[in-house]
Amino acid sequence: MPQGAYHFPKGFLWGTATAAHQVEGNNTNNNWWKWEQEGHTDGSAAVAADWWGGRWREDFDRAVEAGQNAHRLSVEWSRIQPTPDTWDEEALEKYRAMLRGLKERGMTPMVTLHHFTDPLWLEEVGGWETEAVVPLFEKFVRKTVDALKEYCTLWCTINEPTGYALNGYITTGVDSFPPGKNNMKLAMQVQANLIRGHAAAYRAIHLLQPEARVGIAHHYRSIAPQYAWSPLDRLLARSFFQAINESFPLALADGVMRSPIGSVRIPEAKGTQDYFGFNYYTREYVTFDLRHADTLFGRHFFRKDAELSDDAFLALEPDGMFEGLKWVVRNFPNLPILIAENGVNSADDSIRPRYTAQHIHQMWRAVNFNWPIKGYFHWSLVDNFEWSFGWKYRFGLWGLDVDTQKRIKRPSVDFYAEICKENGISSDMVQKYCPEVFEKLFPS
Ligand code: IFM
């Protein structure tokens, strides 16, 4: 049996990622909480993983014991600015304590300033639908970064902005986001304002902290035509690829947002990334189907023989990660890359070890081409509130009993710890935690 290890460069960041609404609990003053109470989701975030009650301490302890040297978390706008005219200094102090907590444990913090949720007061004045949001977001960012900059230099302005715009303004199914509208023109308007908001935040952060590294976390979804010979399937795959994967990030490269309904010039966005934040989970296929007028006649599905996660939420398509990284390098040749999220919902942990091993292997292939990948944040440290799907989908290395707040150790905890401590993945580890993919990673 071949022996060996895939190692990563010195100083590589190994961490996990979380988001405020998903772990803090009782974020009652934002649009998601309202959406949950209106019954659009499978249950409510409720007390979540109780980070606001202080349980971040024990979770950070577990993370550092498990060899992680970084953590990506987000701050909740509605806590920091509960009304347009007030700041909650105590909330900022709590976030300072969390970041200090990371520093004290020798971990590098990465802070996301917007991760899907908006304060209710913002939603009441139209959220991201009008340009009025841009100075409001900038003001919030200035206040927050000024308060937290002692502990953090790595900032993500907006998490998965395309997902925010499409799920909130086009998707009508179970996975829709607030405000649950179905209006393509509005979706593009929202996306344009997210780009403007990001650009304003980028400049504001650099004025406050010249050494800051600022970017977004972009959700890259691999999309392939069912039949490569079919011009219609290819056209559909190309159009969805453009809308989902290219529209937002390419606007940060050249200042033009291209969308299915036209282009918008946003020159101030050009060159506003210091790194490329890349989230990857899965690949989907698309084929022309007259019965799917609602999705531009594209029927989306996972590969027939692909392995699926719980409830068929994700398909295991690790090489889509390599494909995505190649796309990043081609379009953003000068930017360092951070894998800002990657993970799988697997409540019994039966899939997670092989999902993790295969994706880290694909990331290593990319590193081996000398592509500038600087870190990996596994989604997630502990089970958390999975938006529309509530507590049904479990993404944590650690499981969570929401009622008792007891953390449940999954085998992946030790596996990922070995990877972080080794700064790589070895044949012994694969043999121990997911022997079923040994031959794929270490072919004889
Ligand atoms: O839980 C989410 C996260 O908030 C954003 N990226 C995808 C994750 C898993 O669906």
pLDDT of residue 214: 99
* 169-223 pLDDT per residue, tens: 999 888 899 999 999 999 999 999 999 999 999 999 999 999 999 999 999 999 9
123-166, pLDDT tens digit by residue? 999 999 999 999 999 999 999 999 999 999 999 999 999 999 99
Of all protein residues, whose CA lies closest to atom 1 belonging to ligand 1?
Answer: 386
CA 428 – ligand 1 centroid, Å: 30
Q: Which of 115, 160, 382, 389 to mutate to test the pocket of ligand 1 (most atoms within 8 A of CB)?
A: 160
Atom of ligand 1 minimally distant from the CA of 17: 3
- Taking the C-alpha atoms of 436, 440, 442 and 444 in order, what is their torsion angle to the nearest 10 degrees? 100
Residue burial 127-137, b: 16+ Cβ < 10 Å; e: rest: bbbeeebbebb
Ligand 1 surroundings by CB, under 6 angstroms: 19, 22, 160, 279, 341, 379, 386, 395
Q: 30: Cβ–Cβ under 8 A, 6 or more apart, which residues? A: 21, 76, 77, 78, 117, 118, 119, 120
| DSSP 3-state of 269 | helix
Please state which architecture CATH assigns to domain 9-228+269-282+312-407: Alpha-Beta Barrel (3.20)
Whether pTM exceeds 0.85: yes
Parts of the chain with a pLDDT under 70: none
**What atom in ligand 1 is closest to the CA of residue 219?**
6
CA–CA separation, 101 vs 113, rounded Å?
18
Nearest CA owner, ligand 1 atom 10: 386
Question: pLDDT (tens digit, 9 = 90+) per residue, 389-422?
Answer: 999 999 999 999 999 999 999 999 999 999 999 9
Ligand 1 centre to CA of 386 (Å) is 7
Which residues contact residue 402 at a Cβ distance below 8 angstroms, ignoring those fewer than 6 apart? 46, 47, 48, 391
* Atom 4 of ligand 1, residue of closest alpha carbon: 19
**pLDDT at position 380:** 98
Q: Which of 263, 134, 276 is nearest to 203 (CA)?
A: 134
Residue 214 and residue 202 in contact, taking contact as beta carbons nearer than 8 Å: yes
What residue segments make up the domains of the chain, in order of their start? 9-228+269-282+312-407
- Which of 18, 176, 313, 379 to probe ligand 1 with, by most ligand atoms within 8 A of CB? 379
